[in-house]
Amino acid sequence: MAVTTINVQKITAFNSALTEASLMTAIATSSEGAVVTLGKDEKCLLRIYTSASTDQTLTVSKGNGIQGVADLSITVPSGGAVVVQLESGKFRQVSGTNKGKVMLVPGADATVLVGAYQLY
């Protein structure tokens, strides 16, 4: 299975809305994870959601640059969501196939939906 690409949705103005259901991308354990190209750190958010009856995990892989020292494990509560603002220096790939991207890996039995948003 291929890596899933999550497209960043841009919120283009204050007081505007996006219909979120169509903006979330499923990442299942059977996939090879997902990649997302973040914009400026202070303007990008990831929203991670699960409808599972148990807590789920998603790992943000450490970047391969000088600041990439540890993966980040995010726990998503059962039937809930979390919002994360990532520091790109720690998680962005600076070389290789996924250059410029952040890599997301679902847990062993996780199925989550991820949306990426760039604020105005």
Sketch the domain layout of the chain as residue ranges: 4-118
pLDDT of residue 22: 65
Give the C-alpha distances (Å, rounded to integers) separating 54 from 30, 47, 50, 113.
18, 18, 9, 15
Confidence of residue 38 (pLDDT cuts 50, 70, 90): confident
The share of the chain scoring above pLDDT 70, in percent, equals: 90
Nearest Cα to 19, choosing from 120, 86, 117, 85? 117
pLDDT of residue 107: 82
Helix (H, G, I), strand (E, B) or coil at 30: coil
Question: For 21-34, how does the pLDDT look when each residue is reduced to its tens digit (9 = 90+)?
Answer: 567 888 866 667 89
Phi and psi at residue 106, in whole multiples of 5°?
Answer: -75, 155
Confidence of residue 74 (pLDDT cuts 50, 70, 90): very high
Q: Which CATH architecture has domain 4-118?
A: Sandwich (2.60)
pLDDT of residue 30: 61
Give yes or no for a contact between 112 and 56, defined as CB atoms under 8 angstroms apart. yes
